[in-house]
Amino acid sequence: MPQAGLWEEYKVLSDQTLEAVVQCSKCGFCQPTCPTYAVSGLEHEVARGRHQLVRGLVEGRLELDKNLKTALFQCLMCNACYTNCFPKIKTDEIIAEVRNLWIREKGQPALQRYIFHTLLRHPELLGRLLKMASFGKRSGISGLAQVLRCLGWYGKNIANAEGLLESIPKSFLRERLAAQSLIPEKRRGKVAYFVGCGINYAQPDVGYATAQVMNKRGFEVEVIDNYCCGLPAYAYGDLDSVRWFVEKNIRIFSNLQADYIVTDCASCTSFLKEYKRFVPEDSEQQKIVKDFTGRLRDMTTWLYETEDLAEYKTGGNTQTVTLHDPCHLSHYLQEKVAPREVLKNIPAVVYKELAESDFCCGGAGSYNIAHYDVSMKILKRKMAHVKNTGAQVLATACPACIIQISYGVRKFNAPVRIKHVSELVLENSE
């Protein structure tokens, strides 16, 4: 029972969060679907427990201490619980706000501050540093970290995560796309392409395929000069930075002339859809948000909607393909049809369903670095299912999943290649 008066007085968290937390009826239905619970069985690792912890905090029964921190920071924010929750509680919103409270009361770690306040706000600086890393002697995360002068900050996590990133590309997507024409011969329309950080810096090949496919389907591609969508800052509770990114991007979106706004990072798509939460109601910005989210599509959805323009090769060898649903696509955007239908439509694809396909891979942005051990337990489960399909290719639609599952392939010896849906579509297009 809540202690009298506390709900009224404890105003550190927003009314929405408080309302969301009381909505949790403790039914426990989130248990089988929560990845952190599935690998631990612990009540503080499941949505029900997390909501009760926040409630305990609000009711003054618990302190904002280390125990609470572990429970709340170990959440993947995958929102599998939301999909399966009767009252539809958005766990990510509660967690983000409590992490924000943590920062406000305990301070923000220096590395996070550096990333969200300096690097991501100055893409040219980030780009320069990453370039240096890519040419440096040491490859992968530790080379990157060395250049970022932050090795000490991540301590032993960085050693654990060694190998997560195989290499840093020598040229980024933006440079590659800037060097060529993106106007198709037969022009049907125009897509404004939102380039996510993961695609730009880590997987330019994916973005390249995305742009090519758009051209092939008759769409001119305008590469948006956007900032980070803000999701990484959101995940660490840095809501001030989120507002900064939101504001910058909205200004850029305000004069986009295009039929569609598309991104091939499911996490970006879903977070762009959340922009309305970060601008005042009835404001000019809100109008811009409404306009651009109306035209916004995840790449998989866009491919599905423009399927009648696809021209696929026929008669070649077939390959078995399975699909991993990125959390931001399946649990945030509730989109499970589009990627499947797109894959099934490719003549050379023999589609095979993956068990627990919408179960998080444990990548979750940089979760795999910050919580390596938990992340690996979750990945192990994913890779076992992947192996069971016997598929030659695993398709997905988010760079964080691609990095994580590719690591899983190396770590758990799974004979499967990882591709973005865009890449598969391109390979099979005439």
Paired residues of 163 in beta bridges? none
Per rule CB under 6 A, is residue 267 in the interface with ligand SF4? no
Q: Which stretch binds other proteins (CB under 8 A): 83-91, 164-172, 228-236, 255-263?
A: 83-91
- Token readout for 180 is 């060529």
Q: Is 229 helix (H, G, I), strand (E, B) or coil?
A: coil
Residues of this chain, 88-147, that bind other proteins according to CB under 8 A? 88
Nearest to 270 by CA among 341, 333, 185: 333
Which residues, 6 or more positions from 87, have their beta carbon under 8 angstroms from its beta carbon? 23, 24, 25
User: At residue 362, what is the residue type?
Assistant: G
Q: How far is the CB of 52 from other proteins (least distance, A)?
A: 6
Task: Determine contact, residues 44/55, Cβ cutoff 8 Å.
Answer: no
Per rule CB under 8 A, is residue 28 in the interface with other proteins? yes
Per rule CB under 6 A, is residue 400 in the interface with ligand SF4? no
Per rule CB under 8 A, is residue 68 in the interface with other proteins? yes
Per rule CB under 8 A, is residue 86 in the interface with other proteins? yes
Which residues, 6 or more positions from 390, have their beta carbon under 8 angstroms from its beta carbon? 320, 352
Which residues, 6 or more positions from 2, have their beta carbon under 8 angstroms from its beta carbon? 59
Q: Which stretch binds ligand SF4 (CB under 6 A): 53-61, 77-85, 206-214, 220-228?
A: 77-85
Radius of gyration (Cα) for the chain, nearest Å? 21
Per rule CB under 8 A, is residue 422 in the interface with other proteins? no
Task: Determine contact, residues 140/163, Cβ cutoff 8 Å.
Answer: yes
Per rule CB under 6 A, is residue 25 in the interface with ligand SF4? yes
Nearest to 19 by CA among 103, 102, 93: 93
Q: How far is the CB of 394 from other proteins (least distance, A)?
A: 23
Task: Determine contact, residues 262/297, Cβ cutoff 8 Å.
Answer: yes
DSSP annotation of 203 reads: -
Which residue lies nearer to ligand SF4 by CB, 69 or 387? 69
Q: What is the chain's length?
A: 430
- Token readout for 292 is 């651009």
Which residue lies nearer to other proteins by CB, 11 or 138? 11
Per rule CB under 6 A, is residue 374 in the interface with ligand SF4? no
Residue showing tokens 């080379």: 143
Per rule CB under 6 A, is residue 366 in the interface with ligand SF4? no
Per rule CB under 8 A, is residue 259 in the interface with other proteins? no
Residues of this chain, 198-217, that bind other proteins according to CB under 8 A? none
Q: Which helix (H) or strand (E) holds 410?
A: helix 399-411
Residues of this chain, 327-346, that bind other proteins according to CB under 8 A? none
Q: Which of 13, 44, 115, 267 binds other proteins (CB under 8 A)?
A: 44
Nearest to 193 by CA among 171, 172, 175, 208: 208
The footprint of ligand SF4 on this chain (CB under 6 A) covers a number of residues equal to: 27
Residues of this chain, 89-118, that bind ligand SF4 according to CB under 6 A? 89, 91
Q: How far is the CB of 102 from ligand SF4 (least distance, A)?
A: 16
Per rule CB under 8 A, is residue 22 in the interface with other proteins? yes
Per rule CB under 6 A, is residue 71 in the interface with ligand SF4? no
Per rule CB under 8 A, is residue 429 in the interface with other proteins? no
Residues contributing to the site for ligand SF4 (CB under 6 A): 24-30, 34-36, 46-48, 50-51, 75-81, 85-87, 89, 91
Interface positions with other proteins (CB under 8 A): 1-2, 7, 19, 22-23, 25-29, 31-32, 41-44, 49, 52-53, 56, 61-62, 65, 67-68, 71, 86-88
